[in-house]
Structure 1
Amino acid sequence: MLPLGLLVLAAAWAAPLADVLPGPFAAHMTMHMGVVAVAAPMLALGVAGTPFDPVRRAPRWFAPVPVSFVELVLVWGWHAPALHQVARQTALGFALEQGSFLASGVWLWVSALGGDDHRSANRRGLGVVALLLTSMHMTLLGALVALAPRPLYACHGASSITPLEDQQIGGAIMLAVGAVSYLAGGVALSARLVREARA
């Protein structure tokens, strides 16, 4: 799973998304979702339960619910119009945005999925809560972006659609990918807990 996660991450950062998608904001949101909602869980699954699992060495740094709030602050912060512009217009801003998305995404997913099996039931329960909380805030943010009555972001670039339509597509991408990914992770982790309780 780790090589596939690295491949998805490379594709998210290197693919010419602006040439494929209808607008620059939709392309940026696709990159964001590729990093936090697709590559991050794959990378976490690739290390969880292995000798490289960081939760085994430092479990206190991987408390799922507090980590989910760190990701909430970072995701909502970078979607504030002023910070979004910094990320779109400067190389340093872009690197900080994407780096923090990747770090917080992997941190959250590995917090929920990692750890030793004999001590992980409680962690998995908290992981379910953390992933479902993240799904809810991704849903809310995606809906706010998609349903805003005016453009919130000054995204410029070749586009066949209006800035508002571009923003609506970007919000829909967050709803379709981000919210669903974290919800699916929470449901899968819940199912694992039920199976282990029955065993």
Structure 2
Amino acid sequence: MTVAADRVNRWVWVGILILALLWLGPLPALSRTAFSAHMLLHLGVVALAAPVLALGLVRSGRRLRTGERFATAAVLIFSLEMLVVWGWHLPALHEAAARQVGIFVLQQLSFVVVGAAVWWLALSVRRRSELVVTLLGFALTLMHMTMLGVLLLLAPRLLYPAELCMGLFGFTELDDQRLGGVLMAAWGGGAYLLGGLVLGWRLISPGRAAEPTE
């Protein structure tokens, strides 16, 4: 095993370890009664474990290779990510996942798949044109995650059943929902803002995003 392969294995194992800590720890049980716990679990998967797993894939040579279809792949990935995030936060689907183990498993798997796909795409780009497309996708993701967080924060009433928003730290039900919104906007939005800034820096840095000559 080469030194490079060993590094890749460590990244992959770190991502798996993060998922294990998230999924086998107290958050899944707490998320059934606390919306803020659900949001911590969700964001831990998509904004922490997913980029680490994607980094492991890229460093092992498994870059996304779509050629002229890159823009199409990017649109599909970012659209699916938005659909998954907003879909699972619809009151009916959120409640179903909180009450039924099978639906909860499906929810969590969809979070890690779309989250890893977004970061895999971003870490795979080499051409300037691909950077532009991915940067626009990150801007869209930043906006829709921040919008969802603000919606949850400013909602004048509970959007979810009260028994699913009992809070982690003695918060009232509505404050628990609002805390979930703050986490979504700050952590979720912040992660994609940071990713977008890195992509933007690569785009404007001379020689960092040149079109390949082959």
Please give the range of the TM-score, normalised by the shorter of the 2 chains.
0.7 to 0.9
Task: Tell me how far 1:121 sits from its aligned partner.
Answer: 2.2
Change in Cα spacing, 1:67 to 1:18, as seen in structure 2 (3 Å) is closer
Structure 2 alignment gaps of length 5 or more: 1-10
Task: Tell me how far 1:133 sits from its aligned partner.
Answer: 0.8
User: Residue by residue, what CA displacement relative to the aligned partner does 1:3-56 show, whole Å, maximum 9, x if unpaired?
Assistant: 3222222222122137989x7110011000001111111211222253223x13
Separation in 1, partners of 2:13, 2:177 = 32
Which position in structure 2 is the counterpart of 1:51? 61
Which position in structure 1 is the counterpart of 2:88? 78
Mapped contact 2:145–2:188 kept (Cα < 8 A): yes
Structure 1 alignment gaps of length 5 or more: none
Task: Tell me how far 1:153 sits from its aligned partner.
Answer: 1.0
Task: Tell me how far 1:189 sits from its aligned partner.
Answer: 1.1
Which position in structure 2 is the counterpart of 1:124? 131
Q: Which has the larger radius of gyration?
A: 2
Q: Are residue 12 (structure 1) and residue 19 (structure 2) matched?
A: no
Task: Tell me how far 1:156 sits from its aligned partner.
Answer: 2.4
Normalised TM-score (structure 1): 0.86
Normalised TM-score (structure 2): 0.81
Q: CA RMSD in A?
A: 2.4
Mapped contact 1:24–1:155 kept (Cα < 8 A): no
Which position in structure 2 is the counterpart of 1:26? 36
Identity %: 41
Task: Tell me how far 1:77 sits from its aligned partner.
Answer: 0.7
Task: Tell me how far 1:196 sits from its aligned partner.
Answer: 4.3
Which position in structure 1 is the counterpart of 2:3? none
Which position in structure 1 is the counterpart of 2:197? 187
User: Residue by residue, what CA displacement relative to the aligned partner does 1:132-169 show, whole Å, maximum 9, x if unpaired?
Assistant: 11011000001101111111111526642211011011
